[in-house]
Chains A and B, each alone.
Chain A
Amino acid sequence: MSEIQFEIDGRQVKAVKGMTILGAARNEDIFIPTLCHHEELEPFGGCRLCIVELEVKGWTKLVVSCVYPVEKNIIVRTRSKKIDRIRKTIIELLMAHAPFAPDLMVLAKEYGADGDRYEKDPSFCIHCGLCVRYCDEVTGKNAVGFVDRGINKEISFIPEIAQKECDDCKKCFPLCPTSYLQAAFVLTKALAFAPSQPVLSEPESFKKKVTGE
């Protein structure tokens, strides 16, 4: 494997070809914040928090470090005014959904983010996709997935699968940065899991149960 040398925040670091900037930085104990990254999973590039400044042959650009592969002689800066500004906005945007998520609160302090900047829209999920991807890539159960798109995108358990698989697994629970996942699971369990008799045989009574009428 060929070794690649480059610079992060003024330090010369070594990495192996194919590694991402984030991976190389972590090896050197250089901290870059992320919300959607996980060692065992394919890079997702969703939260964009790990954005860094990259200088190649005199040209500067912004890239997200969890996806960008290391190259020889590049110069990486993990903090700058612009990067901090972007991270602050991202954190503030997410805090409109999950104002009390511990990770976000820590980041908010670091970047001076104001959690009340935007009108609250408490759906809790920040769409990091850790649960969905872990359930697909690692456990292979696919009990939870994304639905819809754009601002309507959500995560959703598939009741038929979740009923069979989740109680014994729950490996995704600790991954969730906002603890929304657990709530979604409990809700699905309460509302959509088949009781002793299949739901389909008694839709009316079931509907009543749901509406609480």
Chain B
Amino acid sequence: MPRLNTPEELECFRQKILSGRDPDKPCISICAGAGCIACGANEVIEAFALAIKDQGLSAKIDTRGTGCPGFCEQGPVVVIYPEKICYLGVTARDVPEIVSQTILKKKIIERLVFKDPATGAVAVHEPDISFYKAQERTLLCNNIKIDSRSIDDYLAVGGYMALAKALGSMTDVQVLEEVKKSNLRGRGGAGFPAGRKWEGSRNAKEAIKYVIVNADEGDPGAFMDRALLEGNPHSILEGLILGGYAIASHEGYFYVRQEYPLAVENIKLAIEQARDYGLLGKNILGSGFDFEVIVHKGAGAFVCGESTALMTSLEGRAGEPRPKYIRSNLRGLWNRPSVLNNVETWANVPHIINRGAEWFNGVGTDSSKGTKIFSLVGKIRNTGLVEVPMGMSLRDIIYEIGGGIPQGKKFKAVQTGGPSGGCIPEELLDLQVGFDELTKAGSMMGSGGMIVLDEDTCMVDVARYFINFLTDESCGKCVPCREGLRQMDKILTNIVEGRGKDGDLELLEELSETAVEASLCALGKSAPNPFLSTLRYFRDEYEAHIRDKRCPALSCKELIAFYIDPGKCRACGICLKKCPVTAIDGDKEKIHIIDQEKCTNCGTCFEVCPAKFTAVIKTSGAPVPAPIAQEKRMIIKKAPKKAQKKADQNE
């Protein structure tokens, strides 16, 4: 194991790694991210190993289990280098064919390549796929190129070059200045300028300072930090070391949520490897700079994403935010100056040092620079992680990259910023994504969750969902948050369950004001956002729930009912068999009827009713029609009637 003592030695070592690698040698990259593993990526990896061994190709082909490249919708994702042929939805059964056809005969297997769901166009190579085309993948691009457990792979793609540059030819102040000039803003929530935060700590007089990675990714529906932690841990570590150097800190922390065991493992391994190479520890690359890193597992508390709560948790206590009016970059962990940034923020730092602040400033909008990773999820065709330059419009992200809404449904809103964010309606789809732009629209950037909602999503229910989430995740220390959310949750639950009453909205607004103005920490101050933004853009839905006891999206279980249209039912018996509570009565050639007393509104019948019949009707706010009279329930099959039926459907 070489210990690298100078920047030159690091460069030599990198060249040695590169010279041992043939760029034309076929390499099969298989995504081993959480999403793809859930779809069977591990079996695919095993199958490749087996097939390659069987055919005696071990010396000629490399295989690599990599981090998440983002296109989770169609996992497991396999990319074959050097051509960058991208196969999607690969199963172990496809593997022998891939090896014999694509690897050996350079033939493309049509059924595994990307077909645009909207246009039907085929894309064989990764960069041609519409999901990737409009992206600018600065941070994520290496995920599919490297084995996240190999520091040599990271070095081969230029890893630790920024550290060598900083320690070899820049002073700590120059590093700080570069980050300041880049206008990098924190990717974790509020978007505070990283450089200014760093400067505050740097100028503090205390001898001991800390740099901390906030890897307690807690927003439900956001998983970009996970992809980086699991897929490219060294990039975050390199950023952290650079941060330590810039503010003269010698101790760093990774606060990783324990729900991400692979992330914890990969980070720990990365730290060990970096230490072995002399990139951590005493006198890094002969510069005289010492730096150590400790990994701390988070034990499951959303509030620990709040900086002071995270630091309290690091100190080994219950993660309650501090009430003090002093910034944690001056008095943070153990009351010492502490710079806390989110995973994605740190991962940007090596790129800024490598390519310069000017390059970074060339990407993005006036107030938001660089790229941002969003996790595009919900009612969207191409679910996955997308990295785009700041300033791209929501419409482009959702339709160009995301491929629009599946099943011909209509777009309703996009929820950004997690539980602290809000919902943005269709009329604002041309909004450019950026910190200030999203805040102005009543939402926020947050960590970059982007949940697409379609016409079937009830906005009142979305608000209730987030408020309910926070009642459990609030630390419970201050009254406006703990008690305010408790009451808001009760009122919203009443509304979605049909017990809403006049005055509820005003009461909710009053509780929101108190929480926003008087809560102790950012969690409470931003907690009402999901309610406030949905009220702002979808007041009519609230009013329909309260006044008409009707859910316009036909989603709220207590406000909907199902019945079978006797004119459409062909007595096929499918719903009858599938109903979990035997609420459906019927027989062969006997029109089915739902017993409203027994029905639990689970919606199974609605889903299983064949598309050619669509006899199950979902309704809200209107009484269910009386069931068809017994004597009329027998279906008398007549040819003309059948033909008539067909004609009806063709219309």
Q: B-contacting residues of A (Cβ < 8 Å)? A: 43-49, 51, 62-64, 67-69, 82, 85-86, 89-90, 93-94, 96-97, 118-119, 121, 126-127, 129, 146, 148-153
Contacts and interface: CB of A to CB of B under 8 A. Distances in A.
B482 A86 contact: no
Contacts of B190: none
B115 interface: no
B473 interface: yes
27 contacts: A43-B323, A45-B323, A45-B477, A48-B518, A48-B519, A64-B520, A85-B510, A85-B514, A86-B513, A89-B480, A90-B518, A93-B483, A93-B487, A96-B483, A96-B487, A97-B483, A126-B479, A129-B477, A149-B473, A149-B475, A150-B470, A150-B485, A151-B474, A151-B476, A151-B485, A152-B476, A153-B475
Contact of B487 (A63, A67, A86, A118): A118
B471 interface: yes
Contacts of B617: none
Contact of B510 (A43, A89, A127): A89
Contacts of B475: 149-150, 153
Given A86-B518, A89-B484, A90-B514, A148 B479 contact: no
Nearest to A153: B476
Contact of A149 (B301, B480, B518): B301
Contacts of A93: 479-480, 483-484, 487
Contacts of B476: 127, 146, 148-153
A86 B517 contact: yes
Contact of B324 (A47, A62, A67, A149): A67
A108 B637 CA distance: 73
Nearest to B470: A150
Contacts of B577: none
B139 interface: no
Nearest to B518: A48
Contacts of B301: 149
Nearest to B487: A118
Nearest to B494: A119
A150 B511 contact: no
A68 B323 CA distance: 9
A46 to B, nearest CB: 5
Contact of B478 (A45, A82, A86, A121): A45
A93 B513 CA distance: 14
B478 to A, nearest CB: 5
Interface in B462-493: 470-480, 482-487, 489-490
B518 A94 contact: no
A94 B471 contact: no
Contacts of B487: 93, 96, 118-119
A45 B322 CA distance: 9
Nearest to B485: A151
B486 to A, nearest CB: 5
A126 B486 CA distance: 13
Nearest to A118: B487
B318 A146 contact: yes
- Helix, strand, loop or mixed for chain A's interface? loop
Interface residues of B, number: 33
A153 B511 contact: no
A86 B525 CA distance: 13
Contacts of A96: 483, 487
B478 A150 contact: no
B513 A45 contact: no
B155 to A, nearest CB: 43
B325 A89 contact: no
B33 to A, nearest CB: 31
Contact of A62 (B484, B510, B511, B517): B517
A89 B511 contact: yes
A67 B323 contact: yes
Given A68-B325, A119-B490, A94 B478 contact: no
Interface in B514-531: 514, 517-520
Nearest to B480: A48
Contact of A44 (B323, B474, B482, B518): B323
A82 B486 CA distance: 22
Given A86-B513, A146-B318, A149-B318, A46 B490 contact: no
A125 to B, nearest CB: 11
Given A48-B478, A67-B323, 20 more contacts: A45-B324, A46-B478, A46-B479, A48-B480, A82-B517, A86-B514, A89-B480, A89-B510, A93-B480, A94-B483, A96-B487, A119-B487, A127-B476, A149-B318, A149-B475, A150-B473, A150-B475, A151-B483, A151-B489, A153-B475
Nearest to B476: A153
A122 B440 CA distance: 40
Nearest to B519: A48
Q: Of residues B301, B479, B480, B513, which shows the largest number of chain A Cβ atoms within 10 Å of its Cβ?
A: B479
A199 B217 CA distance: 43
Given A67-B323, A90-B480, A151-B485, A48 B520 contact: yes
Nearest to A62: B517
Contacts of A127: 476-477, 479, 482
A148 B510 CA distance: 27
B521 to A, nearest CB: 10
A178 to B, nearest CB: 13
Which 4 residue pairs are nearest across A and B when measured between Cβ atoms?
A45-B323, A153-B476, A93-B483, A150-B474
A46 B320 CA distance: 11
Contact of B325 (A67, A90, A118, A129): A67
A121 B325 CA distance: 32
Contacts of B478: 45-48
A68 B324 CA distance: 7
B491 to A, nearest CB: 9
A123 to B, nearest CB: 11
Contacts of B483: 90, 93-94, 96-97, 151
Contacts of A153: 475-477, 482
A81 to B, nearest CB: 12
A80 B484 CA distance: 21
Interface in B151-176: none
Contacts of A149: 301, 303, 318, 472-476
A43 B322 CA distance: 10
A195 B254 CA distance: 47
Nearest to B320: A149
Nearest to A119: B490
Contacts of A69: 325
Contact of B518 (A51, A151, A152): A51
Contacts of B490: 119
A45 B479 CA distance: 10
Contacts of B473: 149-150
Contacts of B511: 89
B514 A89 contact: yes
A168 to B, nearest CB: 28
A90 B479 contact: yes
A49 B519 CA distance: 11
Contacts of B484: 89, 93
B477 to A, nearest CB: 5
A64 B490 CA distance: 27
Nearest to A91: B479
Contact of A45 (B303, B471, B517, B520): B520
Contact of A150 (B471, B514, B518): B471
